[in-house]
Structure formats: structure tokens, C-alpha cells
Structure 1
């Protein structure tokens, strides 16, 4: 890439993976084409591998000319608000050689280009310790652009940034109370010139069809509020509002180390039944994490309610274990001959769904469960001659998928879903056999270091949304040391240990100070429940 001369480096090592990059570090946006060969026992070289291109993202705050922008109208931030949609029209002045869209949000987002969703990521940018580390995504949109007029757009939702989090009723607006989009489209034309289209004061915003969305409580969608073609050419946005700039430190931005959250599977309904009280229940035959997708016909203004839970209690939907989480989606029809809908900015843990106010009689063909989690590569399998043992193993796999939704959580269904450090401390060895979790947990461990106190104390949950200064606890805090070590044992990546060394040492030094000369830590708070 960029006209660089070819260079070759031979490394004397028996390593076949995680070999250190032997050339000068790449600069932002820089591309290199790489081929690899190996030498055998008798110093005979193999053929060169097929070429692969590596490309650096935006590595420095100064690489961003775009600014965070969001809706300019006043909102009642004490409760979920109608989700904003944003758009901007721009011109592409000639044939395009390459185009990259760098994008993130304060909140969660779904990006659009010329009327189509840009990629298959969901709940992007995911959940990190936003005020210290905010992930951005990079999309190759070269083929999505056209000469002449184009449109960039996005839908925003509260997500983990502004939505209700934590137990005991939780809190809203933990990281901030203004949703905002940061998008930077970089175009390289075939004539060698470049152009940048970023979020700025030329964008427009209005309320979209999502009336409310919340991780715990679900999504309310009114299809009558849809604006057909809002993200495409030819749409009149003259009645939309101007945007306003939202301040956020660009130095917090970083590129992903692990896979995005995606829809990974669809589970069909196996039975529709009536509860003892006469309510309509759908059984998917498997406890999953994600949401339901419905196909329905009815009159405009008719509202369907979907409640989700993992169990039945006395034949009714078992919502008691959810505590205060409503896990409820609502869809108001626009009145088409057939309408298919699924939520965007929530997720539920469930096997059963309760349907209220369905027009007519639902069938198993009308509703399905969409499985959502971080799209990690499966690396471990198990099968035996014992069906019960096989089922136990599959339960572990399903449980891991549901709790590895961008953050390693304790549960996917109730008003918690937090990154409890003690949980992953004991589960990391199993997780790393079943899936490639290196990048996933590397990102989370950097949040551990970011949220760790100045004297080395590791929070009970990461990202830390409990709010109080962290209190040390055995096993929970040990995650800062044990999880990196497990990753090193599984993958042989010394870089994980190097990245986390200061965090690991700070925790060990802290507990060594508490234990004193006796080396026995017998003071202060401990959970004592595992």
C-alpha cells in the first residue's frame, strides 16, 4: 500500500502464531500487503503464502475531524425518550478507489448509507467504560458509494450509555444524558485526492419510530411513526432539527480487539399454548439471549405486547426472577398487508414469550427467536455416549453465548447483566476452551485496568456502574490476575501479560499490604457466597 518499497524480515523462532511485527509500526490509515513463508528442519523454505492486507485504523485523537453531534431538542432524561435519527446528504465527486466509515456513538447506533444498513453489527459500539474507553468501528463502504449525491444516516438508542443499569432499581444516565453520533467517512478517489465527510453542523435530526428503548425493560416501536426513505436520497428533511455538538474526549477512542455483537442464529417456536389464566405463551424449546421477531397482519394503530422470561411458574410466564426488569417489547402496526419487526436496542434472556393483543390467532410461523451475542469463533466441542452429559455441555455453551454479549456478565435476563469480576474469574478457563475469547477478554481487561482504583482495588463489576469507590474482595479482585494468566496459558500471548502487568501488580501489591507479614488476608469485607 501507499507506494512503499518491499522489505523482508526473517525471524529465528519456533513460533507460528503471535509473531511480533518485524517492521516499523503502521501509521494511521496505513496499509501493507504481507506474505509469509517458513523454513523447515533442513532450512528449506516453503512457498510464499497468499498476500494479505493489513490496515491501521485511526490511532490518534488528531485523526478525527468529525465531532459528536446529537439532537438539539430538550428531553426528559429521567425516563426513556423517543430515539433520534440523524442524516446528512453529501456529494461524491468522482470514481472512488477506497472509502472507510469510522463510527461510534454515545449510546448505541445503527448506521445507514444510501438507505441500507451499513453492516450486520448490533448494539454497537458495545459496552466499555465509556468515559475512559470508547470503542469505534470501521466499515469498508467503497462499493456502497455512488458518484453524485449520497446520504449517511444513523439511528441512536440509550443502550448502556444512558439507559437504566444496575440492581435495586438501577440508575439512568450513568455515563451521560445526551445521545450523540461520531461518524467520519474518508474517501480516496482514483485520481489520488481525498475527502472527509464527518458529523458536523450540517447534519439534521428528528425523532424516529422507536418510542422508547432500554436494555432491561425492552423496546417500544410505533410503525406509524416510520419515515420511509429517511436514510436515502430524495427525502425531504427540511422540517428536521439542527444538531448540536456534544463534548467527549476523542482520546478515549480505540479500535475493537474482539468480534462484534451479531445475530448468530434463529430459533423457531416449537409450541404456542394457553396458560391457566388464558394468556398466550410461545415456547422456543431453548433458553436463548436476544429478542423475538414477529410477522403480523392487522390494522394501523393496533399494539402487540411481547413479554419474555426464562421459566414458567404455575403455568404462567415466570417474571419474578426478572426483579424490576420489564423485558417487554411493544409493536404498533402501520396497517400493511404483512409486517415483520424485531427490536434493535435491547435484549432479553428467555425461553418463553407471552403475546398480548395479537390480531387473530398466532402460529409458530409468525414468531421466532433471534439469538444475539459476541460473534466469537467456536474452538471446543464435546460429545459422549451419555445424552444427559451432552445436554449439560450444551447448556454451558448456550449459557456462555448468552452471557458473552460484549461484556462477560452474570446473567442476561434480570435487572443486573453486569460484568461481575468473580464470575469470569472462575469461568475463564472453561470459556477459553469453548470459544476464542482472546480479543473479547482483552478488551474487558483493559476496562478492568481503567476502572481499577489508584491503590489497585478492582471493582466488583466492570464496567463499574455501581458508583461507590471499589472495595477489595478475594476472588472478585483476583480476576485482574487470573484472567490474563488464563489467556496466556491458552493462547501463548505474552502481549496480554505485558498489557495487564501494571494492573496485575497493583492488585497483588494491594492485597499483600492488607495481609501484612502473616500473608493472611482476614480483615474487611468478603462475599463468602461462592
Structure 2
């Protein structure tokens, strides 16, 4: 149903129903809820759920999710069902420039209250033409631009049965194909935590600046009283420049909330928008407001309700802050869709970012269902584009007339999300369902790539993003990397073909296994014939060697010279980052695999720009899009594409978890675990913990005056191998274990073993 009121305000809907009284007590009551837009629902004035922005963002043309909520404890004989609708992703602004055409011009709500009585009788009340609608207190709302709330219209009496709605307008029914309705697979969006201001100061221009001390995603709840009709305005930014909020990186996103006071005690919470911010500029505050008082300003952190599974800590505080920044960037960008950034006029589900970050994400949080849901959209968008994986999911670029991009066919790294993301989930959780659901998409992508190969067998003739954001490239041309895009694309195609063939083998699809194994063989041969000569790989840059080493393109006896050359190039760079999107996730592993772990540590611990720790030294609390998003003098990078919250370059955490912390799956889902920390970089201790599908795996290692100590826990139902540098492998059964090497030179190990409930050691 849609409102008959023509207005920019978020519409209100209500209907009062009376339950049957002749069928005994209510056994169960559920409310099914969806919207073209986003919605909040109430029963007799009580919010039915703490979930936000229902039903989130999907490829609305083919998938519209619904929530089914248990409201048994909320029903009474007479019930008023109330719904508020916001624009959300459906009718809000998406994309940059002129933006994308909205999915639809009218917002609409769908609700079904189903009641089961003790005698088995069931009745249902659905959204139909009997509902009433009206304007509400939310006078404007947009995810990019912010929300306006007029507290003078903030009464809630309309949510109750006794309210007289005769002056309200009617509704009309929109025809929607019921077959596109689908239940959530992933978790809902919820409030995650609240943060109080670190400081409240005045800017050089005289504005009030509230600093929450953490770049976050959500909104600010404001408690304020003042003259009726006065307006308090909040403008959000990630950073300050010259003491003022720096909104230039937001491009056209206004990120501004307006609150009109009622004259009494008001509480404003703009739940139909969200912002990426650390700082808020506040104007229009009444003079009597104590801006520093507890509760006046509270940052509400929102995001998809993911369970934290993995942690990491070590003896280096800068690395700990880096890891925290990676976690915060993931949290801020996992808001129903895994986006590139949460603040500017973009916030799209770029496939390349997730391709490289998925293993890190699957360690830090339980993202199996979150990403399974997103992969459903990827698959359906791909199916409607001839096997091409769009570079953003859901694909709004197809709705944009001025995206600034030429027609894009399948692309390496970005398109490879169809293959790499399901494989990362399989590795982390060991659940074949994600492979079964994704296999057709994986195969379609690899086949599309095969159709684009040149007669030479290389993937070098179509538009590629390549080693995007190579720090040595022209900032205005982020695709112009040192690595030949054909090297990146052909190596990536090989990896995708190998993974798809392995997936076919797991799923007992023998013909597809043969098909993709043969394709992989041909890609490897083409790469080697064209790009590997005289102990050099074409482009002779760090990304080229990193991909060739890690994707298995080189022969075992070639790893030595390739690793040596990679280490030389890292040394020539001054141990600064010289890779872009394609190479950065793999370079540390390539160095480690070829015996240059110390070089990898030097790269990780570098503090001069470009490096992972440079932003940390500049006070960053999230991962930046560019290594120099903020320049050493504290000014903001003048480039148009400058975000301070991008998780992609945080993919290094995967290496930190496995090599520094020391937890790696030997079998999908961690049924067998490798504990193999490789200390370096003057670290004296590190600890990592992971909630696997079988229970918690833990490890803590520390250097001691006499040698090296390791304490670890092997979950029930698993087995493990402990592999320490220079030592023989040790097989471990479920339980707790303490291992001590008394001296660095002695191969002798002392081991004390405990147990966990239900397991023997």
C-alpha cells in the first residue's frame, strides 16, 4: 500500500483490528513486514523490533526481502498496527554525479499480521485499502543527505486504537509481484553501541564541534530543549581541516540533520539515515543547552548484527590500533550491503573491495549468512547481464546515465568476487551450501572470462581496473598502475578457474571439473609463455611477483628467484607500499612463502607514507581509501576520491591472523587447524582467538629470556598441528596445551597438556 498524500514527509500508516474472541487464547502471532523503502512498525505504540531500515537493500527488481517477527507477547484484543516509511535505498539518492534513477517513485508498505488461536483457528490482517495514511514528523530523509524531524509533529497518539483518524487520507494498492518476496538470509541492521563525546570545542568560525573520538557509522541522538520552532543542525564529517569539519570528501552528500524543536524536552534520533563521521558541527543550539552534559549528544553506532568471532593483539601498540581500525572499517561498511565507503555520495557494494577482504571479514565476524545474502544479489544481477558480474552489487550503475565509466564487461578482481567470496566462506566455515548456491554463478563468470581471452590465451584485451590505486600512479588515474593489467587479469583468471574446478570436484560435478581444470592449465601456460622469462615476470613490479607466487603460477623451483626479486623490489621501495588493490592483499604472504618473512614484517611496520601504519601515526581510527588520504601536514588529500573509511587495504589483517597470530585452517571450517606463528619485527608476543564452527581456537606466543612459549587451545572435534620455525611439527588433540622451547638453539620442546570438556588429549 502507498499513501494518497502527496508530500516529501515520511508517511504514516495505521489500521486498528479486533481479534476473534471465540477461539481461545492466542497461541502465536507473527508480523510479516516489508517495504518499497524502509520501515518501522509498532503495535499499540510499542516498536515491534529493534531492527533498523527493514527490509534493507537488495536487487529490488528481482528480490524484496521481508522480516517475520514474533509479536505474540504484544497482542491484545484490539490492536493498532502502525508503520512509518522512509526512502532508504529504494527511493533515496544512490551513486554520484546525477545519481541513479530510483527503483520506484512511490514508497509502499507490506504487512501481514497472522494470529493462531488455541483451537487451531488462524486469521490474518494484511495491508489493504482499509488503512489510513498521513504526514509524519520526518519531513525529509535520505541516506546521503540526512534527515529532518519536526518535533512539533511528534505525537504518538496515532499509534493507539482510540485515536480518531477520520481526517487522515486513504491509501492505494501497488501491484507488486509476490514472487519476488523472499525471507532474509543475513542478519538485520541494529544499534550496536553508543559513544559519548571525547570533547566539545569551538571551531575558528565559531561553530560547536563535537568529537566522538572514533570514525563510526550511525547517527547522533540529541536531547535538547529550547524555543518552539528553532532548528538545531548537525553536519557530519570524518576529519577536521584547519579546525573546521571537512566535508569536501563527501562530494555532493550533505550528511546533515535538521531538528525542529517543540518548545518542550525533545529527543531526536534520525533512524532513516546514517552517516560516516567522527566529528559533528552543531549550529542553532539554544543558549541554555549544556553541550557537554551527559546525554546531550550520543553517537549511535549501527550496522548489520554480526557476531564477532576473531580477535588479535600483539606487543606493538601501532599494530593493535591498525587492527582496531580494520575492525571499525568493516563494521561501518557492513550495513546490510558490504560497501566501499559509508560517507560520501557512493556507498555501493563494490565487488573488488570484497574480493580481497572476504578472508579477513570471515575471520573477524560470522559473515556466512550476510555474504550468502549478498551473493544471491550478485548471482541474479549477473544472470540478467549475460554472465557479467557487475562491479557493484546491487547494480545501480545500470541505473545511472552519468556514471563516468565506459561499458564494463567482466573485470579481474571485481568480477572474481563471484568465485573468491564463496571460496573464502567455504574455507572459513566448511559449509558446502554456499558452494552449491554459488556454483552456477562461479561457472558463469569463468566462462565469460574465457570468451574474452585473446588468441594468445591471455586476458589482456578488455577494460580492467587492474592494480587499482597503485601509490606510484597518477592520483587522477588510479587505474594506471605499474603492473600490466593483462598480468593482473590473466593471473586472476587462473585463480578463479582453479577455484571453480576445485568447487566442481567438491560438488561431484566431474564434467565441470574437467572443463575448468583444462581452462586453468591453458591460462597458466599462456601466462608463463608470455610473462615469465629469464627469471623475471613482465612489469617487474611487486604486484606481478606477488600474484604469480601466491596463485601457483610458478614452478616450485622458480619460487626462489621470484621471492628474491620481490624482496629486492620491496627493499628498493624503502619498505613502503608499492602495490594497489590487486597486489596489496597478497604481498606479505608471497614474501613469507618464499622465505622473506622479515621483509614482510618490515613492510608491515613501516610508518612513513605509503604504509599501513602511516595513517595510524596520523590519528586514523579506520582504514583509509588512499594511503595519503591525509597529508603529513594535516591537510586532506585534494583528490576527489578521498575516503577515510575503506576496508579494502585492511586485507593485510588476514596475514596478521595467520602469520603473526598463527591460526590457519588446514581443512575448510577449521576441522584441522594449523598453529604456526612466525615471529618477527621485534614483536615479543602475540595472541589470537577464533570462534570456529567447532569452538574456540586460541593461541598466545611470547618470547622469553630462555626461549619461546606457546599456549593454545584446540577445539573439541578438531585436531591441530603446531609448527614453529626450525622445529618439527607436533600433532595436537583437542584441549589446552603449553609448549616451551627452553633455548632458541635447542630443538627440544617441553609440552604440558590439559583438556577441554568432552575431549581427550
Report the equivalent of 1:176.
Answer: 104
| Contact residue 169 and residue 415 of structure 1 kept, 8 A | no
Report the equivalent of 2:14.
Answer: 87
Q: Distance in 2 between matches of 1:286 and 1:482?
A: 31
Q: Distance in 2 between matches of 1:102 and 1:515?
A: 48
> Is 1:430 equivalent to 2:360 in the alignment?
yes
Q: How does 1:425-464 map to 2 (within 5 A)?
A: 425-452=355-382, 453-464=384-395
Report the equivalent of 1:309.
Answer: 237
Q: Distance in 1 between matches of 2:179 and 2:3?
A: 23
Report the equivalent of 2:292.
Answer: 363
> Is 1:378 equivalent to 2:316 in the alignment?
no
> Is 1:482 equivalent to 2:420 in the alignment?
yes
Which structure dedicates a bigger proportion of its chain to helix?
Answer: 2
RMSD (Å) for aligned C-alpha atoms: 1.2
| Contact residue 275 and residue 315 of structure 1 kept, 8 A | yes
> Is 1:72 equivalent to 2:8 in the alignment?
no
Residue 172 of structure 1 deviates from its aligned partner by 4.5
Q: Which has the larger radius of gyration?
A: 2
| Contact residue 15 and residue 131 of structure 2 kept, 8 A | yes
Report the equivalent of 1:500.
Answer: 438
Which 4+ runs in 1 deviate beyond 6 A?
Answer: none
Equivalent position SS for 2:323: helix
TM-score, length of structure 1 as denominator length? 0.84
| Contact residue 268 and residue 364 of structure 1 kept, 8 A | no
Q: Distance in 1 between matches of 2:230 and 2:6?
A: 29
Ranges in structure 2 where 5+ consecutive residues have no aligned partner = 400-406, 469-580, 582-761
Equivalent position SS for 1:381: strand
Equivalent position SS for 1:399: helix
| Contact residue 109 and residue 127 of structure 2 kept, 8 A | yes
Q: What CA deviation, in whole Å up to 9, does each residue of 1:90-148 have, x standing for no partner?
A: 0012321110111100000001111111000011111000111111001101110012x
> Is 1:393 equivalent to 2:323 in the alignment?
yes
TM-score, length of structure 2 as denominator length? 0.59
| Contact residue 85 and residue 208 of structure 1 kept, 8 A | yes
Residue 256 of structure 1 deviates from its aligned partner by 1.0
Q: Distance in 1 between matches of 2:408 and 2:90?
A: 20
Q: Which has the higher contact order (CA 8 A, sep 6+)?
A: 1
Residue 402 of structure 1 deviates from its aligned partner by 0.1
Q: Distance in 1 between matches of 2:219 and 2:285?
A: 17
Q: What CA deviation, in whole Å up to 9, does each residue of 1:170-199 have, x standing for no partner?
A: 1352x1111001101110111221100000
Equivalent position SS for 1:383: strand
Q: Distance in 2 between matches of 1:517 and 1:267?
A: 58
From 40, 57, 73, the counterpart of 1:127: 57
Equivalent position SS for 2:42: strand
Equivalent position SS for 2:398: coil
Residue 513 of structure 1 deviates from its aligned partner by 1.3
Q: Distance in 2 between matches of 1:195 and 1:386?
A: 62
> Is 1:518 equivalent to 2:462 in the alignment?
no
| Contact residue 458 and residue 470 of structure 1 kept, 8 A | no
Report the equivalent of 1:97.
Answer: 27
Report the equivalent of 1:491.
Answer: 429
Report the equivalent of 2:677.
Answer: none
Equivalent position SS for 2:157: coil
Report the equivalent of 2:72.
Answer: 142
Ranges in structure 1 where 5+ consecutive residues have no aligned partner = 1-68, 76-80
Q: What CA deviation, in whole Å up to 9, does each residue of 1:229-279 have, x standing for no partner?
A: 111121111111110001211111111111100001000011100111111
Distance 1:207 1:470, change over 3 A: farther
